[in-house]
Homo-oligomer: A and B are copies of this chain.
Amino acid sequence: MPKTARLTSSLSSSQEDYVKALYKLRHTGHGVSTSELAEHLHVSAPSVSEMFGKLAALGLVSHDRYRGAELTERGEAVAVEMIRHHRLLEMYLVKALGYSWDEVHEEAERLEHVISEQFEERIAAALGRPRRDPHGDPIPSERGDLEESPHTPLTACAAGDLVRVRRVSDSDPDKLRAIGELGLQLGADVEVLEPSRYEGPITVRLGRRLRQIPLGLAREVFVGD
C-alpha cells in the first residue's frame, strides 16, 4: 500500500487559507455563508464566491449555490493537515526557538504553507510529539484525529471556583501578551474570588497574588479542573 501523498499538494496558499477558514467556521449549522467567510478572511464576497467554485471543482468543498459551503471529507482532511502544521510550528517556535506565545501566530501562518512532510515529521519528533500547542489547542495526530479544545471561559466561573488555565484564544497577540504578563500561563492554578460585575474585572488569586483580570482578557482564557 503506497503511502498517501500529502493532501495539500498543488493547493495555493490562498486555497489553503480558505479551507482552514471553512474549517474554523464550520460550527455554523449548514454550511458557511459567503459573507461570513469574506469577513473572516478580509476579502470581498465575490472573491469568496469565486473560490467556492474552484474548491468545489477540486472536490474539497460542497457548495449549495446561494446557500453556503461546507468542507467535504477530503477538504476536512486538508484543513486538519494545515492545522497540524500550524500548531506544530507554533510549538516549535516556542520550545526550540524561544518565541513567546504572542509572537508565534504570524510566523506560523507564513511557514505552514511551505513546509514539507519531512519538516513536519522532524519538528514533531524533536518536540516529542506534543498533543497541545502553546495556547493549549490540541495538535491533530498524523492520522488526522483532532480532540476538542477546552471551552469553559474564565468568565463562566463563580466565586470560590478553583480552576486551572487550559487554553487561551490565539486570536489577538496583544491580548495574549497581556494575559501572559498577568501570570495566566497554561497550567496556572486560579481561584476565582469575585466574578465580573457591571462589565468590570474578575478578581482571582494566582499563587499568593491577587489579580484583577479585565473582562476583555478573561473572555480569552479557558479553564478546566
Contact = CB atoms under 8 A, between A and B. Distances in A.
A110 B111 CA distance: 9
A107 B117 CA distance: 10
A116 B123 contact: no
A116 B107 CA distance: 7
A191 interface: no
A15 to B, nearest CB: 17
A126 interface: yes
A46 interface: no
Interface stretch (A74-82, A96-104, A151-159): A96-104
B110 A114 contact: yes
Interface in A110-133: 110-111, 113-116, 118-119, 122-123, 126
Contacts of A103: 118
Nearest to A122: B97
A110 B110 CA distance: 11
- Of the listed residues A96, A98, A114, A116, the one surrounded by the most CB atoms of chain B closer than 10 A to its CB is A114
B126 A107 contact: no
Contact of A96 (B96, B99, B106, B110): B96
A93 B122 CA distance: 9
A101 to B, nearest CB: 14
23 contacts: A96-B96, A96-B126, A97-B119, A97-B122, A97-B123, A97-B126, A98-B122, A99-B118, A99-B122, A103-B118, A106-B116, A107-B115, A107-B116, A107-B118, A107-B119, A110-B114, A110-B115, A110-B116, A111-B111, A111-B114, A111-B115, A113-B114, A114-B114
